[in-house]
Amino acid sequence: MSPLPDGLLFSSRHGYNFVVVIPAGASNIDIRQRGYKGLISDDNYLALKNGQGKYLLNGHFIVSAVERDLMVKGSVLRYSGTGTAVESLQAFKPIQEPLTLEVLSVGKMTPPRVRYSFYLPKESKEDKSSYKKEGKTPPDLNNSVLSLSNRLDGGRPSYKRPSYKWAAGGWEACSVTCGDGLQKRSVACRDSYGQPAAECDAAQRPADVRLCGEPCPAWEAGPWSPCSKSCGRGFKRRALKCWVPSGRLLPRESCNFRRKPQELDFCTLRPC
């Protein structure tokens, strides 16, 4: 087996922080998160995703406080729970899928102290002899080191660090049928697997509210007609139209009758 030196994480920001991808084939996995100054539950918690990007442990800001076993392909990870000063994840048998290790930092935001180590299998003698027969130089796997950029030296496949982006939903209906209203939509941070995350750039967050609404229909009054009588008390009328500022005429019932101008009035030109 080829040991990988310990990896460390001493800084974080609020939410889920990427630590390392443990490749398929790794065994003797030992992950420890030591409480800040020996505290129990220092608001830093180990989190784990499987090869499909689904959380196996402490995902979606829900923390498991009890000791438990996590079933993964080919192995079992023993989780200590959060009730100890040293939170741990351990497995002895080789895993058959890559696992993504993260640390969830919330609350008081004390610095996490995460240390991890695991082993990868050496190249078999048969594989080495085949290289010699073909005149090729076998890759040096004894010095494989998991770097901070999350890649394995020695020709092993690279594992990309999860990416994060804002996901915006569709706009809701306008809050008013006419006039000045608002439209809302949901905006959430997601990782490359579509899971909720907190690592998106706040400066790039799309707007979740915008102005909406068309001008309300309005009444337009025409000129008054001549008085119905040449002397004494008579009546006068004027035409009313319901329209929108664009000039489009609408049925009268489209306008607000509470704001309807006077359409008929008395008039007196002179006494009889």
Residue 248 class from Cβ within 10 Å (0-12 exposed, 13-18 middle, 19+ buried)? exposed
Report whether 183 contacts 174 (CB < 8 A). yes
The SS3 call for residue 29 is: strand
Which residue do the tokens 């009890």 mark? Answer: 66
Among residues 161, 171, 208, which one has the least CA distance to residue 189? 208
Q: Helix/strand/coil (H, E, C) string of 97-156?
A: CCEEEEEEECCCCCCCCEEEEEEECCCCHHHHHHHHHCCCCCCCCCCCCECCCCCECCCC
Q: Which CATH number fits domain 2-133: 1.10.3720.10, 3.40.50.970, 3.10.129.10, 2.60.120.830?
A: 2.60.120.830
**The pLDDT value given to residue 9:** 52
pLDDT value at position 199? Answer: 86
With beta carbons less than 8 A apart as the criterion, state whether 66 and 81 touch: yes
Note the pLDDT tens digit of each residue in 208-238.
Answer: 999 998 888 999 999 999 999 989 999 999 9
Burial class (CB in 10 A: 0-12, 13-18, 19+), 267: middle
Ranges in the chain, pLDDT < 70: 1-12, 35-41, 123-161
Q: Whole-model pTM?
A: 0.44
pLDDT of residue 144: 33
Give the side-chain half-sphere CA count within 13 A for 242. Answer: 12
What fold does the segment set 164-212 form as a domain?
TSP-1 type 1 repeat (2.20.100)
The number of residues in the chain equals: 272
Exposure on the CB side of residue 152, measured as CA atoms within 13 A: 25
Distance between CA atoms of 198 and 187, rounded to whole angstroms?
12
DSSP characters over 202-253:
GGGPPPSEEEE-PPPPEEEE-PPPPPS-SSSEEEEE--EEEE-TTS-EE-GG
Sketch the domain layout of the chain as residue ranges: 2-133, 164-212, 218-268
